Amino acid sequence: MPRERIMETARTVYRRYGYSPIDTPALEYLEILTGKGSEETDRQLYRFEDHGGRQVGMRFDLTVPLARFAAQHIGSLGVPFKRYHIAPVWRGENTQAGRYREFYQCDFDSIGTDSVVADIETALVIHDLLREIGIQRFTIKINNRQILSGLLEKLELSQLTVPVLRALDKLDKIGKAAVAEEMQATAGLTNEQANQVLKLADIAGSMSDVLDCISELVRGSPLGEQGADRLRQIVNALRTSGISEECYRIDVSVARGLDYYTGVIFETLLDDLPSIGSICSGGRYDNLAELYTKQHLPGIGASLGLDRLLAAMETLKLIAPTRTPAPVLVAFFDKERLADYLALARVIRSAGIGAELFPEPKKLGQQLKYADARGFQVAVIAGSQELDNGTCQVKDLANKSSVEVAWREHADGFLQAIRNVLANG
C-alpha cells in the first residue's frame, strides 16, 4: 500500500502541473538504447533477439524512450509536451542472488522548451512531491552542467567533458585526491588542470556567495556565464515561490552518471539518510532527442526512484502499518445463508465503503484472527438468528466494542455505526 500511495501522490502532483500520462513499451530496438546513458547502462542492458530477428533491449530508464517517442511523434504532439510516466526499468547485473534488477521510476518531463520556467517547475514539482509524500527533511541539490563545460572551455579541455564528468561523479565515494588522480590518468589532465576543475568542489558559503564564486570561476566562457545566470534565476524563483531555503542548495560538484544531461541537474538527498543516495534526480537534456530527429527538441525532467525511497522510508520508520484496502470484514458462518451475506456486503459497498466477505464458514475466532492480521477496522457479524431479524453486530476491532443494528431495512443506522468506527480509526 505505501508503494501505491506514493504512485498515487506522484500522479496527483504531476497532473496539478499539467503533465499528462503516457506509456512507452518496455522493449525498444537495441540501437535506441545503446550509447545513450553511460558505459554502465550499456553493460547492464538486458538484450535479446525477438521473434522477428530484431535486436531489442529492455529500457534502462524512462527518459531515453521518451526522447525517442517525442522525436517520432512531435509533429502531432505539439510543444511544449509535458508528460509523466510511472513504470519499471531494468538494469542487469552479474549478481548471484535470485533478485532481478527491476525497479520503478516515476518520471515527469517537459519536451520542446528551452525556457527556464521548465527548469524552475521541475524543482517545484520535486519539492511538492516529497512534501506530499510526507518527507519533511530533504535537500534538492542543484547544479548546471554548463558550469563545468564553461570551466573546461576556459581551460581548453572541452573535448574531455565526458571523462572529467565521470571522474567527478565519484567525488562523494572516493574523495578529491582520488578524483584528481583519475582525471590525470584517464582524461589526461595535468595536475594543475585537475586542481582547477576541483575548485568546483570547494565552493561554499551563503547562496549569494556561492553564486558569486561560480560567476567568477566561469567568467569569460559564454557557456559558463549562461549556466551561472540560469542557476541564479532558478534559486531566485524558488525563493520568491516561498520554498524553504532548507530544501535546496547549489552544489556544482553534482555530476549525475548519465551522459545525456546538458544543463541544470538535480539530485535530492534525504537529510536523515543521505547515504541511500539521490531519491529524485533529473535535469535538462537538450540534445538527446536529436539522436532520433533533426528537429531541435530540448527536454527537462526528473525521476522519483520509488524503490529506493521506499527502502529509505522503511529505514526511517516513515511507513504506516499495512492495512487492507477494504476496512470492513463481513464474517461468514452459514453456507445456506450465502445470499444474505452477499446482500450485507453489497449494502456496505453501495455506500462507498470497502467490504470483504470472508469466503469460508469458519469459527468466529479464526475470522477475527484474519481480520487482525490484515488490519481490518470493522467486523460485521451475523448468525442465522440475526439474519432472520435483519440485524447484525458492528464490531470495532480496535477497542473490541460492538453494537447491534438493523441493516436490511433502513440501513442508515447500520452504515452510520460503521462510519463511526472508521472515523475513530
Residues 358-417 that bind its own copies (CB under 8 A): 358-360, 370, 373-374
Interaction with its own copies in 93-112: which residues (CB under 8 A)?
A: 93-96, 98, 100, 102, 110
By CB under 8 A, is residue 336 in contact with its own copies? no
Q: In terms of Cα–Cα distance, which of 286, 304, 306, 258 is closest to 67? A: 286
By CB under 8 A, is residue 332 in contact with its own copies? yes
Q: Tell me the CA distances in angstroms from 10 to 16, 139, 247, 281, 342, one per residue in order.
A: 10, 18, 19, 14, 36
Nearest-angstrom CA–CA distance, 217 and 214: 5
Q: 87 pairs with which residues across the strands?
A: 105
Of 242, 275, 365, 399, which lies in the binding site for its own copies, with binding defined by CB under 8 A? 242
Cα angle 192, 193, 196 (rounded to 5 degrees) comes to: 90
**How many binding residues for its own copies (CB under 8 A)?**
78
Complex with its own copies: residue 4 or 156, whichever CB lies closer: 4
CB of 202 to its own copies, least distance (A): 31
By CB under 8 A, is residue 18 in contact with its own copies? yes
By CB under 8 A, is residue 118 in contact with its own copies? yes
Complex with its own copies: residue 178 or 343, whichever CB lies closer: 343
By CB under 8 A, is residue 141 in contact with its own copies? no
Complex with its own copies: residue 259 or 340, whichever CB lies closer: 340
Q: Which three cell numbers stand for residue 371?
A: 481480520
Of 10, 37, 46, 166, which lies in the binding site for its own copies, with binding defined by CB under 8 A? 46
CA 158 to chain centre: 33
Complex with its own copies: residue 176 or 349, whichever CB lies closer: 349
By CB under 8 A, is residue 304 in contact with its own copies? no
Nearest-angstrom CA–CA distance, 119 and 122: 5
Using only C-alpha atoms, the chain has a radius of gyration, in whole angstroms, of 28
Nearest-angstrom CA–CA distance, 362 and 37: 56
CB of 100 to its own copies, least distance (A): 5
Q: In terms of Cα–Cα distance, which of 253, 244, 252 is closest to 271? A: 244
Q: Which three cell numbers stand for residue 144?
A: 548546471
With beta carbons less than 8 A apart as the criterion, state whether 382 and 391 touch: yes
Nearest-angstrom CA–CA distance, 68 and 140: 28
Among the residue ranges 61-69, 87-95, 249-257, 414-422, the one whose residues contact its own copies (CB under 8 A): 87-95
CB of 310 to its own copies, least distance (A): 11
Q: In terms of Cα–Cα distance, which of 92, 98, 117 is closest to 42? A: 92
Q: Tell me the CA distances in angstroms from 194 to 70, 157, 167, one per residue in order.
A: 38, 11, 10
Of 6, 9, 10, 14, which lies in the binding site for its own copies, with binding defined by CB under 8 A? 14
Complex with its own copies: residue 20 or 186, whichever CB lies closer: 20
CB of 9 to its own copies, least distance (A): 14
By CB under 8 A, is residue 70 in contact with its own copies? no
Of 10, 67, 116, 310, which lies in the binding site for its own copies, with binding defined by CB under 8 A? 116
Complex with its own copies: residue 126 or 151, whichever CB lies closer: 126
With beta carbons less than 8 A apart as the criterion, state whether 87 and 46 touch: no
Complex with its own copies: residue 8 or 172, whichever CB lies closer: 8
By CB under 8 A, is residue 132 in contact with its own copies? no
Interaction with its own copies in 144-183: which residues (CB under 8 A)?
A: none
The helix (H) or strand (E) run that includes residue 20 is: strand 20-21
Residues whose CB falls within 8 Å of the CB of residue 336, separated by 6 or more in sequence, listed in order? none
Parallel/antiparallel/unpaired status of strands 378-381 and 328-330: parallel
The helix (H) or strand (E) run that includes residue 216 is: helix 207-218
By CB under 8 A, is residue 27 in contact with its own copies? yes
Q: Which three cell numbers stand for residue 372?
A: 487482525
Of 4, 192, 336, 409, which lies in the binding site for its own copies, with binding defined by CB under 8 A? 4
Complex with its own copies: residue 138 or 358, whichever CB lies closer: 358
Q: What is the DSSP letter of 398?
A: T
Of 35, 188, 220, 325, which lies in the binding site for its own copies, with binding defined by CB under 8 A? 325
Of 236, 389, 401, 416, which lies in the binding site for its own copies, with binding defined by CB under 8 A? 236
Interaction with its own copies in 190-219: which residues (CB under 8 A)?
A: none
